[in-house]
Structure 1
Amino acid sequence: MIWNYGNVYRMIRKSKGISQNNICNGNLERSTLSKFESKNRVPSFDTMQYLLEQVNVSFDEFEYICNEYNNSERQAILVDFYSLVSNAQRSKIDTLIKRCELYLKNNNDYKINEINHILHIFIELNEINKLNVSDISVKLATIVWDRISLIDTWTYDDMRTINFIFYFLPLETIKAIVPKMLRSLEKYNTLKEISILRLSILTNFSTIFLENAMYTECKNILDYAHSFAENAKRYDYLGIIMVRKSICEQKSAEVTKWLEFLSMASEEDIVTELKKEIDRHLVGYSSKYDFKTM
């Protein structure tokens, strides 16, 4: 990490051919900018925001450049964690756990520690029936929920975290908080990631209905999620949605069609997880509809 932020900013400014006078333009004392660039005096948030706007660089990109054009390990863990589609992605989860534990050896970081808790829960969810999790996993999830439940206004990150511990909340609690979460997400509509989080919440909600054999409710939420998956062009989520809808409708041929779709897209971990759901909920699924994964 390059900690001399002033030097990095000067490098960006000069590479764009922008003078200090152009940056300040009567809105900022030139001495303030000079001190920042030469002596690394970190300005206030408002001033830093102004400076970055003048060179058209976001805070995230500035951090990325300061880290020599790489994500920091913390940011890389966050990116990889939130990119997980399913608890069935075991190899990715195992790797993330190792990275979290290595990072936590040298850093006291509540968020990475929280992610580590959730990843351990994911492993158990992948190995046993979602409705029969251990006391250890419930305890880990409760640690996370106890913190978030006390917050009056959930941030985008809080809602992402809640989404990962859905399975450990009472069904009535979930029914109450999901509409609130979806309304809250509307505040973040300009964030490009919002569509994926909404899809993830809806598909997780459908899982809970499915595992409680509430097939009508499950299909209703999947019908609602369908258009979001298509608009976002997230065909992994679309495949999950269509397999589960077909399970709810007891349509074996449609189940196989969409499993093949996911297999052709190399989503084998998702196929494996969905087959477990099929075994539990699709009555008389005939082997004639089954297929060999690619």
Structure 2
Amino acid sequence: MEIDYGKVVRDIRLNKGYSQKYLYSGIVSKTYAIDFEKGLHDMSVTKFMDVLARLEMKLEEFEFIANGYQSSEEITSNVLIAIATNRGDIETLRKLRTYYDTRKSKEDEVLKARLNLLIHSYEESGKRHIEPAVYKKEDVEVLKNHLMSVESWTLKEFAFFLNNGYHFDYETYRILTEFALKQLRQYNSYPDVVKIKSYLFVNFLSTALENKDWDSINNYRQDFYEVTKNTEEGFQRILCVFDFNLYDYVMTKDQNFLKNAKKIEEMCYLLGSDYHRMAQAMSDTIEFCEEVVQKGEKRD
């Protein structure tokens, strides 16, 4: 159901005992304010944020109130999916998937596809695969089309891609990564842009390594190295150094680079259980690169 923001603002204003003159003076005219509160007009984002500032209220709180003092279904679902995913709670993911069997909106279609892919990932995680896991094409297409239908990404799309990019075939993943990095140029002055960019590099270059895309690794090497120098998230820097040591090992066959990578792997195991998943992924990547060198595979 579409929410009438003007009427919600009116209710909040009256509850606070504010006059229209106090709330809207210098923002919109009296006539516009009256029509806005009647639901006859929308308001520009800039002016609406000015109104919220005068109400001393953040947008998140306003949306919470506008939705009947509860989180929107989309936010609630995404939070539940994130919690269940982090805990490896496949049963909760299955229950959520059943809930979306009867939903028909575009957002529900995307959520259902995400759940299908997450459940498949957990079902396959205990198996030893020589080749990458194969995901259901229809579900992957839903996620791909969702991202490609948005011409200008916001933080929501960046987060969605970071959390779901591994489902795509490598070529699609490479193209979307390039697109994401270009879109991030609009966010150069945004406080968390370095963190977002470092996550993009970490995810992509690890995948590029597994796909023997040596050119992409080399092309992004300097950018990846620079962006992780100042990030507050230390593990991105760890993965940066790890990946490039393995890249240099494959390129030169120099065992010193392999030893450096194995030292990082060992350190992650020593850091405790929170780092064991990352350490195991490092072990698999090291094994992969050793096989590449042993087979004498060369860069194209």
Instruction: Give the match for residue 133 of structure 1.
Output: 133
Return the alpha-carbon distance in structure 2 between the equivalents of residues 236 and 95 of structure 1.
29
Mapping for residues 1-294 of structure 1, pairs under 5 Å: 8-10=8-10, 12-13=12-13, 18-25=18-25, 27-30=27-30, 33=33, 41=39, 43-46=41-44, 48-49=48-49, 51-67=51-67, 70-78=70-78, 89=86, 91=88, 95-96=92-93, 98-99=95-96, 101-102=98-99, 104-105=100-101, 107-125=103-121, 127=125, 129=129, 131-134=131-134, 136-146=135-145, 148-149=147-148, 151=149, 153-156=151-154, 157-158=156-157, 160-163=159-162, 164-166=164-166, 168-171=168-171, 174-192=173-191, 194-214=193-213, 217-218=216-217, 221=220, 224-229=223-228, 231-248=230-247, 249-251=257-259, 252-261=262-271, 263=272, 266-282=274-290
SS at match of 1:224: helix
Q: How many residues align?
A: 271
Q: Which runs of 5+ in 2 are unaligned?
A: 248-256, 292-300
State the match for 2:252 in structure 1: none
The alignment yields a C-alpha RMSD, in angstroms, of 4.2
Distance in 2 (CA, whole Å) between partners of 1:35 and 1:267 is 56
The C-alpha deviation readout for 1:199-248, integer Å capped at 9, x for no partner, is 33212211222212446754764663355345342234344444434444
TM-score (norm 1): 0.67
Q: Distance in 2 between matches of 1:32 and 1:242?
A: 57
Given that residues 130 and 167 in structure 1 are in contact (C-alpha distance below 8 angstroms), is that contact kept between their aligned partners in structure 2?
Answer: no
1:22-65 per-position Cα deviation (integer Å, ceiling 9, x unaligned) = 2222653446546766xx63641326455334335444331023
Give the gaps of 5 or more residues in structure 1. Answer: 284-294
Whole-Å separation in 2 of the counterparts to 1:118 and 1:28: 42
Change in CA separation of 1:76 and 1:240 when aligned onto 2, cut-off 3 Å: farther
- Matched residue SS, 1:153: coil
Which ranges of 4 or more aligned residues in structure 1 deviate by more than 6 Å?
Answer: 14-17
Counterparts of 2:219 and 2:269, CA distance in 1 = 21
Encode CA deviations 1:173-210: one digit per residue, 9 max, x unaligned: 55455333312111134555544442332122112222
Kindly indicate whether the alpha-carbon contact (under 8 Å) linking 2:13 and 2:19 is maintained by their aligned counterparts in 1.
Answer: yes
* Higher normalized contact order (CA 8 Å, seq sep 6+, divided by chain length): 1
| Distance (whole Å) between structure 1 residues aligned to residue 212 and residue 190 of structure 2 | 34
CA distance in 1, matches of 2:83, 2:241: 21
Taking a change above 3 Å as real, the CA distance of residues 26 and 188 of structure 1, as seen in their structure-2 partners, is: closer
Q: Is the 8 A contact 2:97 2:112 kept in 1?
A: yes
Rate the CA distance shift 1:122–1:27 in 2: closer, same or farther, 3 A: closer
Give, in angstroms, the shift of residue 68 of structure 1: 6.1
> Alpha-carbon deviation of 1:21?
1.1
Mapped partners of 1:203, 1:191: distance in 2? 20
Q: Is the 8 A contact 1:117 1:141 kept in 2?
A: yes
User: What is the distance in 2 between the residues matched to 1:232 and 1:82?
Assistant: 23
Are 2:20 and 2:30, in contact at CA under 8 Å, matched by a contact in 1? yes
Residues 142-198 of structure 1: per-residue CA shift (max 9 Å, x gap): 34324544x482423455545523553343x55455333312111134555544442
Query: 2: CA distance between counterparts of 1:193 and 1:79?
Result: 21
SS of the residue corresponding to residue 108 of structure 1 reads coil
